[in-house]
Amino acid sequence: MEINAIALHEQALKFRAQRNEVLSSNIANADTPNYKARDIDFGTALKDAQTNTISMKRTSELHQQAWGTARGGNRTMYRIPTQPTLDGNTVESDVEQAAFAENAIHYRASLAFLDGQIRTLRFAIKGGD
């Protein structure tokens, strides 16, 4: 077991939580005219975090959030709809709910991995008790 694996899953949990916020916002605004569905590219966000190349990072909670970024500096992108609506809303409820469910499963998997790693460390520290 490596500390880097724990740090990686810690970052993954943060990004998954942020993505859940974005996806739930999309679902909540499914009937809002001209609302544009957004998403976070999880793979790119995690890769950027590992290489420390996040493009816009807020150093204070008092700083205004830039357009096109999520909390923590992760890039959000607009989702391209397969069937745009007449009112300009690009949220497709089925797509958003499926993405939310998939993201939640990955979030729980990361939690389970971290739980196992922490239990292993605790077992090693206690000397096998």
Q: Which of 10, 29, 12 is nearest to 85 (CA)?
A: 29
Residue 3 identity: I
Per-residue pLDDT at 29 = 95
Count of structural domains within the chain: 1
**By three-state DSSP, how is residue 78 classified?**
strand
- The C-alpha angle 47, 82, 38, rounded to 5 degrees, equals 40
pLDDT, tens only, 2-14: 567 788 888 889 8
50: domain range? 3-126
Q: Which residues of the chain have pLDDT under 70?
A: 1-3, 45-46, 49-74, 129
